[in-house]
Structure 1
Amino acid sequence: MPSRLAGSTPAGLKLASPKLAGQPVIAGGGLAGLSVALHMDGPCIVLTPTPLGTDTASSLAQGGIAAALGPGDSPALHAADTLAAGAGLCDPDVVRAMTEAAPNAVQQLADWGVAFDRRTDGSFDLHLEAAHSHPRIAHGWGDRSGAAIMDALIRRIRETPRITVLEGASLEAVHAPEGRVEGVWIRHGGHDSYLPTGACVIASGGVGALYTEATSPRGNTGRGLAVAIRAGAALGDMEFVQFHPTALDTGRAGQRPLISEAVRGAGAVLIDETGARFTEELAPRDVVARAIAAHRRAGHRVFLDARLALGAKFAAHFPGITQVCRAEGIDPATMPIPVAPAVHYHMGGIAVDGHGRSTLAGLWACGEAACTGLHGANRLASNSLLEAFVTGRNVAGDIANHPLSTTHSPALSPPTLHQPPLHQHGDVGRLMSAEAGLLRDEAGLTRLLNALAPRVATDDHALIGALIAQAAWRRRESRGSHWRSDFPQTGLPQRFRQGPETMAALCRMSEEFV
C-alpha cells in the first residue's frame, strides 16, 4: 500500500483531523527530511512545496557521500580532514560521531536500494575530492549521486503507508507560546491551516537563492530559518556561506549548474584564457574560490580544462555535467569549461545539539537548515549528504524517545496567526552578492544592514540576509568561507548565536549592529 500523497488541493489538511493532528511535521522533501520520515517508527507528515524530489539541493548533488570505505582510510582520517577544512570551528565530538557513522550510512543506503557505482570486484568506486587525504566519495549514476539517492528513498517513501506527503505545502509558522511547540501553520493549495502537534522538524535547506548566482534551487531562501527564529529558536554560524569554486559560467544570473569537485579530483586543471594555471586545484574550496575570484577581478576568464586528464572519457565519467555543458554549446572533451564561483552551501542554520534539538522545545532541525557543528567555517566536500542522512536518522530516534512531545490533543479552534503578510523585495539578491559575498568589509556590511534591517519584520528574505550580515559584521577576522578584506588575520576561534533578541534589535535598527 503506497504512502498517502496529497496533491495541491486545500482539502488535503483539516484542523482537527484525527489522522493528522499530533503527528510530527517534517518541513522539507530533500534527503534530510526523507531520512527523518523513513527512520520514524510511527505516522508523520512531510511537507514539500514542490512535487516530491524536485527543487531540492539533494537531488542536484553530484559528488556523493564521504565515508572511510577504501584501503588505508579510516574514520579518524576522515575526521582530521573535516576538522582541517572547518578552520578551527568544527565541534570535534560531532565530527567524530559523524565520520564514525559514515560507513554504516553508506551501507544502509545501499541496502535501501541506492545504486552506488561499483568497481569490477563489487567494492564502492571511490572518488577523490578537494581537501580529502584519500579517495572516499561513494557516488551513484556517475555524477548524479544526489538523484540516485533520492530516487531510491522516494520509492521507499511511496511504499510506506504511515508517511503522509503533502505536496505543494509549506511551513508558514510555528506556534510555541510557552517556549514549546504546540502546533504549526501550513500553507497548502493557497490556504493556511493550523495543525496541532508537539513535534516539528525543519529540513528545508539552505540560503543560496538569496544571492544572484548560486548552485542552489530557487526555493532555498532560508525560509525555514526565518520560521524558526520568529518562533523563538536560536540560529548559529550564519556568516559562513560557502562559494563553490567551479559553477558553470553561463553569464546569466540565477541558478547555475555545478561542475563537480570530482572533475578536479580526476585531474582537470584551472587555467585562464592564456592557458596558464594559477592556483592549486585541490586546495580547500574557500581558497580556490578566492583565487578564481581574484583572477577574474584582474581581468581574466577562468576555465576548467579536462582535455588532457579525461578527454573522450569525460562523458562516461560525468554524464550529467556533459549534458549541461553541451546545452551551453560546450563539449568538455574538447573544450575548456568556463567557470566562476557561486554560492553553494550554508554552514550556518538553526542551532542544534547532537540529537538535532533546537533551543526551542519540540523543534528539531537537520540537513543544511541545521547548524550542527560538523562543518565549522568551511564544509569539507561531500560531507553534506552524509550529514543530511545521519542527522535525519538522529532526529527520528530522538523524537521516538520523547513520545509526549508528539501526543497532542487537537485544539477546538486554531490560535491566531500573529504574523503580518511577508513582503519580499527583489533587490535582496543584488545586495547580498555585492556586500556579503566572497570578500567582505565593514563598510559594505554596514550598507547591507542599513538596507535590510528596516524590512526584517515583514520580509523573510531581508531577515535572513540581515542576520548573515550582522554575524559577518561582528566577526572581525577572516576564517574559512568568511573573508574580511579589512580584517585578513585569523583571531581566536569563537562561534556566534543569534536569537529572537537579535531579530528584535534589527527591527529597532540598534546602533549596536549598524
Structure 2
Amino acid sequence: MEKTDIIIVGSGIAALQLARRLQDHYYVRIITKGSIHSGNSYLAQGGIAAPLGLNDTIRSHVENTLEAGRFHGDEDLIHKLIIDGKRMVEMLVEEGAPFDRDVDGQLSLGMEGAHSHNRILHGGGDQTGKYIMKHLLGTLSEEKVTFHEDEMVYELLKDERGRCCGLKSKDKRQTRMYHASHVVLATGGIGGLYPATSNHPAVTGDGMALAFLAGAELADMEFIQFHPTLLTVEGKTRGLISEAVRGEGALLLNDVGERIMEGVDPLMELAPRHIVAECIFRERERGRDVYLDISPIDDFERKFPSITRLCRKHGVPIEDGRIPVSPGCHFIMGGVVTDSVGRTSIPGLYAIGEVACSGVHGANRLASNSLLEGLVYGDRLGDHLIEKGISPTIGCALMPVQEKNALSIPYTEEEIKERMIRHAGIIRDEERLLSHLNWLKEQPLTFERPLDCDSREEIQRYFFWIVSLLVTESALRRTESRGGHIRADYPWEAEAWRKRKLIIQHNQGRLKVGYHEQNETEIYA
C-alpha cells in the first residue's frame, strides 16, 4: 500500500508549489479530476505580477490591488502577499524559470489593467501558465509525489472530533477511499458554471461544494470577475484574449469604430476588469459588436503566439487587425474561507489558490495576481505543514462500486449554465436572482444525501446546484454594486457593505448565512 501523508485535490500552480515544498519531508498524493494539464493554471496567458521594476514599489502594488478590489480586501494580507510574492518570483528567476527577457537580457515587464507600473512577467509571450507549470513539474520527485489523474473527489471524510482525515473519489471504474493527516483543496474556481468562460471545462467549483458539504465556511461567493475579452465567433466564445494585448496598446472599438471606453474611465482600456466587462456587455446589449483593434501593436504574432494560433483556428485573420470579443466568467474572488496560511474552519482541511477566499483579492482581482497567490500560499502552507508535523495514517482502500438507486437530477448542465448567465451573470437584479434562487430551491435535492451510489455525471450536476445556490444567495443578499458584483437595482457602493463579508455555511442540512465585518480568519487552528 502506498504511503500518504498529505493529499492535494487539484493540480494547478498552487498544488504544484505546495507539493515541491513538501516533498523532502512527506509523501504527497495529488488527485485531479482531469489531467495534470487540464486546469486554469496551464491555460493562463497572462503573467505573474511582482514589483521588480526600477521605479516600482511594494506599496504601489498593494495600492493597485486594493483599488482593483474596491477596498474589500485585507490590506495587511495584501501587503504580505506582495512581499512574499516578490521573493517567490525572484527565487523562480534564480532557478532559471523561463520568463521572457528584453534584447539586453533584462526581465521583460509588461503592463496590464489597473496596474500603475510595468510589473507583469510573462513566459512564452502569452503562455505563462504553461511555462511555469512545466518548470514546477520538472522539480517534483517521482518517489515522493504521486499523481492520480481522471479521478473525481466527491466527499471529504471527518473523524469523530470533526477533523478532516481523508476523502472519497471515483474514477471511471471504481470508488476509492483515502486517509491522510491533512487534505488540501486546490481545485480552482467556478468558470464551468457559465456558458461563456475562459476556464477549462473541468473547473466547476467542486472544491467549494466539497468544503460546503463538510461544513466549512465560505465567503464572497457573489464576487465573480468576468474577463472582458474572450474571442467570440458566431455568438460563441472560443478562448481568452489576454489583457496583455490591451497592455501592449490594443483599443476597444464597436462596429462603427467608436472607442467604447471613451468617457467611461480615465484608464480607458486598462481600467479594472469589471468596468471594462460591463462596458462591453452594455455595448452588446444595445446591438453593437465589439472588437479589439490590434493594429497599434507591432509584431503581434511574435508577442502573442498562442492567441494568434487561437484566432486562426477559428477563422479570425490577424492581418485584419480586429479580434471580435465579449465578456465571460474568469475568476471568483470568493471561496472557502482561509487564514494567512490556508487553514479553513475545519481542522485538517486547507484551501489554496482560487478555491480559497484568502482576503487578498477583495471584490475584484487585480490582473496577474492569481498565479502570484498560488505560488505564495502553496509555499506558506508547505512551511506550516512541515512545522506542524503529521500523524500516522493509512493509505487508500477500494470501495465497492454502487451504481444502484441513484437520484435522478431533473436538469442538465447546459440548463443550469444558461440560467446562471441570465440570472446571476455580469449584471444582476433582485427579480432575476430571486427567480433563480426559487428555481434552485424547487429542485428535489438536499445537502445531506449519500453520493456513493451516484455516477460522476450525477455528482457533477449536484455540485453545480450547490455552487449555483451559494453564488445566487450571496448575490441576492449584497445590496450594492462593488467590484465583480454589479446590481442594476443597487448601482452604487454602500459604505455599510465596505469590508463586510457574507459568510455562508452548511449547518445540519440548512443554509446558514452570517457576516464578518473585518477579516477574522486568523482564528483557525
- Shared fold, TM over 0.5: yes
- 2:484 corresponds, among 459, 476, 481, to 481
For these two proteins, the number of residue pairs brought into alignment is 482
Q: Secondary structure at the match of 1:193?
A: strand
In structure 2, what residue type is equivalent to 1:374?
V
- Give 1:442's aligned residue: 430
> Structure 1 residue aligned with 2:469, among 466, 470, 488?
466
Gaps of 5+ in 2: 262-267, 450-461, 513-525
**CA offset digits 1:349-399 (Å, max 9, x no partner):** 111000100000000000111110110000000000000111111111222
- The answer to whether the aligner puts 1:74 opposite 2:61 as a matched pair is no
**Are residue 287 (structure 1) and residue 279 (structure 2) matched?**
no
Residues 444 and 221 of structure 1, relative CA distance in 2, 3 Å threshold: same
Cα shift readout 1:224-262 (whole Å, capped 9, x = no counterpart)? 111111111111110011000111112354x63111111
Alignment of 1:373-392 (within 5 A): 373-392=359-378
- Indicate conservation of the 8 Å contact 1:143/1:319, yes or no: yes
Match in the other structure for 2:43 = 60
Indicate which of 59, 73, 87 corresponds to 1:104. 87
Is 1:24 paired with 2:15?
no
1:170, distance to aligned residue in structure 2 (A): 2.5
For 1:425, the equivalent position in structure 2 comes to 412
Q: Which position in structure 2 is the counterpart of 1:47? A: 31
8 Å contact 1:90–1:375 — kept in the other structure?
Answer: yes
Contact 2:175 2:399 in 1 (8 A): no
Indicate if the aligned counterparts of 2:175 and 2:398 stay in contact, CA closer than 8 A: no
The separation in 2 between residues aligned to 1:420 and 1:174, in whole angstroms, is 20
Equivalent-residue separation in structure 2 for 1:326 and 1:195 (angstroms): 45
The amino acid of 1:297's aligned partner reads E
For the 8 Å contact 1:233–1:499, the answer to whether it is kept is: yes
Structure-1 separation of matches of 2:227 and 2:396: 47
RMSD of the TM alignment (CA)?
A: 2.3
Q: 2:335 — aligned with what?
A: 349
Percent identity between the two aligned chains: 36
Q: Which residues in structure 2 correspond to 1:133-282 (within 5 Å)?
A: 133-157=116-140, 159-177=141-159, 178-253=161-236, 256-279=238-261, 280-282=268-270
Quickly say closer, same or farther: Cα 1:497–1:326, change in 2 above 3 A. Answer: same
**DSSP 3-state at the match of 1:393:** helix
Q: Are 2:389 and 1:407 aligned?
A: no
Q: Name 2:501's counterpart in structure 1.
A: 495
Provide closer, same or farther for how the CA distance between residues 411 and 115 of structure 1 changes in structure 2, counting only shifts above 3 A.
Answer: closer
Query: Residue type matched to 2:198 in 1?
Result: T
Q: Is the 8 A contact 1:422 1:460 kept in 2?
A: no
Q: Is the 8 A contact 2:85 2:375 kept in 1?
A: no
TM-score if structure 1 supplies the norm length? Answer: 0.89
8 Å CA contact retained: 1:114, 1:149: yes
Contact 1:310 1:333 in 2 (8 A): no
**CA distance in structure 2 between the aligned counterparts of 1:26 and 1:115, rounded to whole angstroms:** 26
1:393 maps to which residue?
Answer: 379
Are residues 331 and 374 of structure 1, via their aligned partners in 2, closer, same or farther at CA, if it must alter by over 3 Å? same
1:505 counterpart = 2:493:
no
Q: Secondary structure at the match of 2:439?
A: helix
Q: Is contact 1:112-1:152 (8 Å) kept?
A: no
> Residues 412 and 371 (structure 1 numbering): CA distance in 2 closer, same or farther, change over 3 Å?
closer
Kindly provide the amino acid, as one letter, of the partner of residue 479 in structure 1: R
Q: Contact 1:209–1:221 at 8 Å: present in 2 too?
A: yes
1:95-134 mapped onto 2 (5 Å cutoff): 95-134=78-117
Residue 372 of structure 1 pairs with residue 358 of structure 2: yes
Cα 1:59–1:416 shift into 2, 3 Å: closer
Structure 2 letter corresponding to 1:444: R
Question: Contact conserved, 1:109 with 1:149, CA < 8 A, in 2?
Answer: no
The superposition leaves residues 279-310 of structure 1 with CA deviations (integer Å, 9 ceiling, x where unpaired) of: 02111100010011111111111000011x11
Following the alignment from structure 1 to structure 2, what is the Cα–Cα distance between the partners of residues 463 and 357? 22
Q: Report the AA paired with residue 30 of structure 1.
A: G
Query: Which deviations, in whole Å up to 9, do the C-alpha atoms of 1:111-162 show, x marking residues without a partner?
Result: 44421001233221000000000000001001111111111112222x4421
Pair 1:409–1:142, CA change in 2 (3 A): closer
The one-character-per-residue Cα deviations of 1:83-102 (angstroms, maximum 9, x if unpaired) are 00010210111100111112
CA shift at 1:412, angstroms? 9.8
Which residue is 1:297 aligned to?
285
Cα pair distance change 1:30/1:96, threshold 3 Å: same
Mapped to 1, the partners of 2:398 and 2:53 lie a distance apart of: 57
Q: Any idea what SS the aligned residue of 2:437 has?
A: helix
The letter of the residue matching 2:27 is P
Question: What amino acid is the match of 2:35?
Answer: P
The Cα of 1:477 is off from its aligned counterpart by: 0.5
Aligned equivalents of 1:79 and 1:43: distance in 2? 36
Give the Cα–Cα distance (whole angstroms) in 2 for the partners of residues 234 and 470 of structure 1. 14
Runs of 4+ with deviation above 4 angstroms: 409-417, 419-424
Unaligned runs of 5+ residues in structure 1 are 1-16, 507-514
